[in-house]
Structures are given as structure tokens and as C-alpha cells.
Amino acid sequence: MTSFSNMSFFRKAVIISILVLAPVFIQARVVIKMATLAPNGSPWHELLLEMSQRWKKATRGEVIIKIYAGGVAGEERDVVRKMRIDQLQAAAVTVEGLTEISQDMNVFYIPMLAKTSEELTFIRNNLTPDLKSDLSRKGFKLLAWADVGWAYWFTNKKVTTPTQMRKLKLFTWAGDYRFVDLYKQFGFHPVPMSTADMLTSLQTKIIDGFATTPMFALSFQWFALAPNMLNMKWGPIIGGVVITKETWNKIPEKYHHELESISADIEKKAAEFVVMTEKALDVMKDNNLTVHELSVTEMKKWEDQMLDAYPYVRGSIVPDAIFDKAIELKSEYRNRN
């Protein structure tokens, strides 16, 4: 083997150049750790994998997204905290995670804010500039909305009125005491916990019910222990794909436009998942799920209950300005249609 001292000047120069420049080449590669609660193999997980592959191709391998699915990186609030200290750089989270960044995101927790996907789209599109601005001020960039679907109540016994629901122990997200206080104020019995504990809690009857999308109820098999669904759109479960601005700024600017375009396409595909609700319902109905319809009188009771709650939601949970704007947009849409 030729020793370094016996090599020609040219070969020495090449080797030294490689050794000096290697760290630069390594650092130029941006590796993004992205977390999500979406189960492995679920439609949302598959969509994130597609995004990862397309970002890699668009940047010729300079940007790599590693996806940690199924909650292995922790609950959504934990994920956001890890993003703040750069243990993670991106996440696909529901509003539960987004509110850990911006309180304005609580606007989507206004019960029965919209009745249809069209109405929700109108409200959200008009709120998006303000919501993105607040996320940006907090050090995050919203890459795409990710519609998860409409939340419905699933319970271990038939429920069609607020009075019946008050008799049950209901799941709420751990970490947000304000919702716990709100539920209690109106006579409900919230039980805050991690989603990782839901299946066991249903089995042991620590909780009797929860609100989620049919697709989630099916994916996690929660419906088997809460085989009654109230056919009332409680509210949308909206998600978002976010990245820290620090990480985004590390990506060469020449790629920004194309990566934003890919993200916008992913957003459109995610919106199509909402129609999968019917397929999920069909599967669950074939496996002993009972869907309960509401009478006009029962629906009126729920609507009155929500209107009674609005003064408590405004200001304490949803910041005044964004709450008022959402209600104005709701009224505008309904007056037009």
C-alpha cells in the first residue's frame, strides 16, 4: 500500500480536499424528524410517506423526512415541546397539537361551528392568513392543513340528548384543564387522559364515551367498546403539517416554492379522506356499531346547549378576536346559503 508521504502532490491534494469538504457535504443534507399519531399503514401515514418521497426527489436527496408514526414520539403536546428543543423538526398533528403553539387554533374547538364541509372550508379559508401569521410569530410554519374528518360521539350505551350524556364519563385530552372545567360547568363528567390509555380505559369503564372521527374509531378499534354513535357532527377534527421555521430556513431557498407546492397537493389529497367516513361507518356497522339518529327536538336541545356554552368558550378557551371573526363568518355563510 502506498504511504501518504510517497503519494504525488495531486493525490494528496484530492484526499485533503475530500477530508476538509466532507463535513460540509454532510451538513448540507437536511434531515427532518416528523412525528404523528396517525397509525402505521393508515391513509394519513401513507400520505406523509408520499410527501417524504416527493420532497426527497424534489431536492435531489438534500432534504430527508423521517416519519415516526403511531404516537411513538409521544402525545401531540409532547411532540410540539420536542420541536421547540429540536428533538423533532416537524409534525402532522390535530388541533390539539396546534393549540400548544397558538391559542387561536382553539377556534376549531367551537362546538357545532359548521354543519357542512363547505361551510367549514369557507370559515377556515378566511381565518387561515391570521392563523398562519400567529404560528409564524411562534416560530412555526404551516405547510398544509390535513382534514381528518367530522367528530361524532361514540358511547357504550345509547345517547341522544345532553341530559343522557351527562350521566357518562367522557374522554378529554390530558393537559388542557380549561376544557375539563368547561365540561364540569355544564354538568358533564370529563376524564382527561392520553389517547394511548383509551382502549384500556374503555375496557375497564374508566370512560364511557369519546368524540372522534369514524376513521379513527375504526383504526384504533375503540368503537368495539363504545358501539353506539350519535349521528350529529360535533365538530371537525382538523390537522396540520407544521415545521419549525429554523428547520425550514435551513432548506435551500431554491426548493421552497416546489416544496410548498407539494405540500398544497398533499392538503388536497387529505381533504379527500373525509369521504372515507362512510366506508368506515359501513365496516363498523357490519361489526355491531349502532348509529342513532336525532329527532328535531333532540337536535334543538344540543344546539341550545352549545349556544349556552359560547359565552364561556369566548375568551377563556378561544381568544375573543378569532372567536368573533369565526362566528361572523358562520353567519355570513348561512345568510348567503
All domains of the chain in start order, with CATH: 6-336 (3.40.190.170)
- DSSP 3-state helix, strand, coil percentages of the chain (rounded to 5)? 55, 20, 25
The candidate with the shortest Cα–Cα distance to 215, out of 280, 130, 298, is 280
pLDDT of amino acid 25: 46
**Do 104 and 98 meet the contact criterion of CB atoms below 8 Å apart?**
no
pLDDT of amino acid 80: 96
Task: Cell numbers for 55, please give them.
Answer: 420532497
pLDDT of amino acid 28: 56
**89/80 Cα distance (integer angstroms):** 9
**Do 215 and 148 meet the contact criterion of CB atoms below 8 Å apart?**
yes
For the chain, state the CA radius of gyration. Answer: 24
**298/156 Cα distance (integer angstroms):** 19
The candidate with the shortest Cα–Cα distance to 213, out of 152, 157, 170, 160, is 152
**21/34 Cα distance (integer angstroms):** 28
**Do 232 and 153 meet the contact criterion of CB atoms below 8 Å apart?**
yes
pLDDT of amino acid 17: 53
Length of the chain: 337
Q: In a 10 Å sphere around its CB, with 0-12 CB exposed, 13-18 middle and 19+ buried, how is residue 312 labelled? A: middle
Phi, psi of 37 (to 5 degrees): -80, -15
pLDDT along the chain (337 residues), means of 10: 55 53 57 94 92 97 96 93 97 93 94 89 96 97 91 96 97 84 93 92 97 90 97 91 98 97 94 79 95 96 92 93 96 94
Q: In a 10 Å sphere around its CB, with 0-12 CB exposed, 13-18 middle and 19+ buried, how is residue 192 labelled? A: middle
**Do 234 and 111 meet the contact criterion of CB atoms below 8 Å apart?**
yes
pLDDT of amino acid 129: 96
**Do 107 and 326 meet the contact criterion of CB atoms below 8 Å apart?**
yes
pLDDT of amino acid 144: 96
Task: Cell numbers for 112, please give them.
Answer: 357545532
